[in-house]
Amino acid sequence: MTQRLVIAIDGPSGSGKSSAARGVATRLGLGYLDTGAMYRAVTCAFLDAGVDPSDTAGLIASTLGAELEISTDPSDQWVRVNGADVTERIREQEVSSVVSAVATLPECRADLVARQRAIIDAAPSGIVAEGRDITTVVAPDADLRVLLTADPEVRMARRRRELGEVDADALADQVLRRDADDSKLVNFTTAADGVVHLDGTYLTLEETIDAIAGMAGQ
């Protein structure tokens, strides 16, 4: 890569955006930013502080005060909050079930969006950033903006493979309920002007990576 390149990928839970974004970043020699991991890390912070998910002031204070570090190396992903490594913990049901408490608060989103923009701006060769409002809010000026979607049944099946043994209610909570909650504040189901819609329902991961890299001219 000789020219700095920023790629923004939006999409609902289980659409495959994280795996696709990592794959594109690896192929193109770019950084990778999992913005969802940042919301999950802040969730760990408020849980550790004993803040109730209904305590709006406490959630905002926990978010704004969180010391957050996240890797942008697609081959070595980790995240730390307040000095603690929470890389594995952020995927646990304890966190997944309440992360929307942070994600749906405008004050919390504004703080994390500012941090995400700073990370994107600091990436020397460029970065692939993925999440729920990346194409419209975080990086609306990205060189390439993609909305990656898939049918709900496919998204549920993909998330089940990621999580392993998980009951149906927990799976629905991870995918459908969180999408419903988060969509009250941000739009990640309809492509905005200038955003390319890619339906990955019938695409393999490699085909999805090929498609996005092709859009980037690589």
How many Å apart are CA 158 and CA 98, to the nearest integer? 21
Q: What is the pLDDT of residues 90-145, one digit of tens each?
A: 988 899 889 999 999 999 999 999 999 999 999 999 999 999 889 999 999 999 99
Provide CB contacts within 8 A for 128, sequence distance 6+: 6, 7, 8, 9, 21, 22, 24, 25, 28, 30, 31, 32, 33, 74
Instruction: Pinpoint the alpha helices (H) of 73-204.
Output: 93-96, 100-103, 106-122, 152-163, 168-172, 178-182
Alpha carbons within 13 angstroms on the beta-carbon side of residue 178 total 30
Q: What is the pLDDT of residues 49-99, one digit of tens each?
A: 999 999 999 999 999 999 999 999 999 999 999 999 999 999 888 998 899
Q: Is a pLDDT exceeding 50 seen at residue 1? A: no
Nearest to 38 by CA among 138, 143, 140: 138
CB 198 within 8 A of CB 146: yes
CB 96 within 8 A of CB 182: no
**The pTM is what?**
0.85
The pLDDT score that the predictor gives to residue 188 is 62
The pLDDT score that the predictor gives to residue 217 is 83
Least confident of 91-100, 181-190, 203-212: 181-190
Q: Is a pLDDT exceeding 70 seen at residue 146? A: yes
Nearest to 156 by CA among 145, 167, 148, 144: 167
Q: Is a pLDDT exceeding 80 seen at residue 168? A: no
Q: Is a pLDDT exceeding 50 seen at residue 11? A: yes
Beta bridge partners of 127: 6, 31
Q: Is a pLDDT exceeding 80 seen at residue 172? A: no
The pLDDT score that the predictor gives to residue 185 is 58
Give the chain's mean pLDDT: 89
Query: pLDDT band at residue 190, thresholds of 50, 70 and 90?
Result: confident
Residue type, 115: R
Q: Is a pLDDT exceeding 50 seen at residue 26? A: yes
